[in-house]
Amino acid sequence: MKILIAASEAAPIIKLGGLGDVVGSLPKALEKLGVNVAVVIPYFPTAVVAGLKVYKSLDLLVPFNGESHKVGVYATKLPHSFVDVFLLKNDDFFSTVGKTASLGIRSEVEVFSFFARAVVELIKTKFNTYDLVHCNDWHTGLIAQLLQDELGLERPATVMTIHNFSYQGIGDARTINEVGLDPSVHQMVAWDIADGDVNMLMQGIASADFVTTVSPTYAKELLASTDEGKIFDVLCARKDRFIGILNGIDYDAFPRPLDIMTYQVAKESAKQSLLTKLNMTKDDAPIFSMISRLDPNQKGLDILIDAIPEIVSRRGRFILLGSGNVEWEEKFKALSVKYSSTNISINTVFDPELAKQIYTASDFFVIPSKFEPCGLTQMISMWYGAVPVAHSVGGLRDTIAHGKTGFLFDDYSAGALVRALDRCFAIYKSQVHSDMIEACLKVNFSFDKSALAYKALYEKAIQLRQDAFVAED
């Protein structure tokens, strides 16, 4: 079984968001199962290749918007594995993005339409030897449609994974002509662009053999959504080919200085060190933390900012690490000034080492997301013995056992969050708290489980594709 995973990022070579963590981890877990897997991503200028052996494999000539563009194919290995990574280099298209997570603005839609065309040309150049192409998020939404156009009955099977339904890659309809698709022979494409826009994610959902998302509950939430729009109609029409597979984490990326025998001493030591580093009051108060990008549409910032004063009033400490929306960065900084930086530490930076210190030192970890497709921070916090407190949605609901490995709240409100936080104060340093920490430390969310589910899905998709080939031949 030969698999090609296409995405906009793969950590640690390119990491813009959670997608990069998944694409950097899943192939290694698949490799352990004997799957022949490779990854293809754009060669952005921000790619971190120091210490890697990178060599130029070949040049592609990629047709786009009536012209032929040269794309260099560079090859390396995913660190700590034998997984091939193909980096596609073209300065005209890939030099202006890749610094932040791609949200689907019009210029990016053109860039990733070109990327989709380049991936298809790569597959053709490699003599169409892949059994399946696994596409990820809107950036790869046109690949399945292009493969059908270019290779017909002989195309590989395809899987499309939705990592965050909010980002759909909506761009000008002319993109369809630029990439070489003819709306007159594609009913779904014609229907999509009738309003003047193309929805890249919707095209991927409509044309892939199977569609997945990153947790079972998020899949149910999407199908049960009362929102209206073409993309919901398409997703519901494909519900028999739509499943949720829970993401995992690569524990090798998160070495921890504690285990079930040493966590009490290790966490107390880490707490005092962190309080000193952040110039916070050193006492026995519980530490609540949150590590997240500051996205007011998703991450629950509006209810969190009302709950933080309640933490302080109960003699708790709160630490935030994350950047994003500048307006919300300033709101949290103002809160720290009002209630003293000795009680509230706001760190609007990207600092992986500080993140690990915070995870290790924290007693409780707050995740008030309005929605959360899967979430990784709750898995990481449990790994470090910080009990999560989270809104009961998406992957948070699938990974946190209420009352055993964390606390969940149902209503999206500051009041509901505060009531969950009160449960934390009630158990702090009790036997119940110790039992919850130990339960967290024992939980296993490695990508090995996710890889088994994906391997089974790949086999199913490939078999259905082979059956269709025989039937149509």
8 A C-beta contact, residue 160 and residue 141: yes
8 A C-beta contact, residue 298 and residue 391: no
| Residue that the structure tokens 């610094």 belong to | 99
What phi, psi does 46 have (nearest 5°)? -85, 0
Six-digit token string for 261: 């025998």
CA distances from 350 to 24, 50, 254, 294 (A): 19, 20, 16, 12
Q: Following DSSP, what letter does each residue of 144-187 receive, concatenated?
A: HHHHHHHHGGGPPEEEEEES-TT---EEETHHHHHHT--GGG-H
Residue 220 is labelled as binding a ligand: no
Integer Cα distance of 348 and 100 in angstroms = 15
Q: Is 127 left (phi over 0), alpha (psi -120 to 50) or beta?
A: left
* DSSP type of residue 54: -
CA distances from 318 to 55, 133, 265, 406 (A): 47, 44, 21, 18
Q: Which residues pair with 162 in a beta bridge?
A: 213
8 A C-beta contact, residue 369 and residue 299: yes
| Residue that the structure tokens 């603005």 belong to | 105
If one counts every other C-beta atom within 10 angstroms of the C-beta of residue 311, the result is: 25
CA distances from 439 to 127, 325, 375, 384, 405 (A): 50, 35, 19, 11, 6
CA proximity to 203, closest of 119, 128, 147, 132? 147
Q: Angle at which helices 200-207 and 230-237 pack, to 10 degrees?
A: 20
Length of the chain: 473
Residues 6+ apart with CB under 8 A from 360: 256, 257, 258, 266, 267, 270, 274, 384, 385, 386
Binding residues: 15
Binding residues for ADP-alpha-D-glucose: 15
